[in-house]
C-alpha cells in the first residue's frame, strides 16, 4: 500500500513540529527589546557618570520610577532571553532524555532565581529598603 503514497505523504509526521516559529519570534523580540532598553540605560548611565556620582545620587537615580522600571524590565527580559536561547542549545546538543530534562529544569531554576534576585534588588533600591 505504501507504494501508492507520494513522497510528501511518506515524509509527513517526520519533520518539525511547527513550534519553532514561536520560539524564534520570542527570541528575536526579546533580543530587540534588550538592544533598545540597553541603549537607553547606557545613555542614562553615561550622562549620570559625567560629573562624578556619589552613592546617594546613584540610588536616587535608580529610585526614580522611570529608571527603576526600565531597569526592572531590562533584567526580566534579559532572563527570559537567556532562558529561551539556552533552552535551544540544551535541546539541540543534549540527546539523553534524562540529562536534557535535568538541564532544562536546572536552567529554569537558575533563570527564575537570577530574575527574582535582580527584581528584588531593584525594588529594594526603589522603595528605600
Q: Which one has a higher pLDDT value, 48 or 20?
A: 48
Q: Which domains does the chain have, with CATH numbers?
A: 22-126 (1.20.1300.10)
Contact 68, 62 (CB under 8 A): yes
Contact 44, 67 (CB under 8 A): yes
pTM listed for this prediction: 0.80
At 61, list the grid cell: 537615580
% of the chain residues with pLDDT over 90: 64
Question: What would the pLDDT profile of 7-22 be if each residue is shown by its tens digit?
Answer: 777 777 666 656 678 8
Q: Which one has a higher pLDDT value, 51 or 18?
A: 51
Residue 66 pLDDT exceeds 70: yes
Residue 42 pLDDT exceeds 70: yes
C-alpha 70, offset from chain centre: 15
Amino acid at each position: 500500500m505504501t507504494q501508492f503514497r507520494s513522497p510528501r505523504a511518506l515524509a509527513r509526521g517526520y519533520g518539525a513540529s511547527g513550534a519553532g516559529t514561536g520560539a524564534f519570534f520570542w527570541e528575536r523580540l526579546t533580543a530587540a527589546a534588550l538592544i533598545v532598553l540597553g541603549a537607553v540605560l547606557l545613555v542614562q548611565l553615561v550622562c549620570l557618570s559625567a560629573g562624578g556620582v556619589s552613592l546617594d545620587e546613584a540610588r536616587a537615580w535608580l529610585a526614580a520610577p522611570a529608571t527603576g522600571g526600565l531597569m526592572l524590565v531590562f533584567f526580566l527580559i534579559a532572563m527570559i532571553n537567556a532562558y529561551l536561547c539556552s533552552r535551544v542549545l540544551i535541546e539541540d546538543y543534549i540527546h539523553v532524555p534524562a540529562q536534557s530534562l535535568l538541564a532544562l529544569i536546572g536552567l529554569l531554576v537558575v533563570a527564575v532565581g537570577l530574575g527574582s534576585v535582580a527584581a528584588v534588588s531593584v525594588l529594594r533600591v526603589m522603595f528605600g529598603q
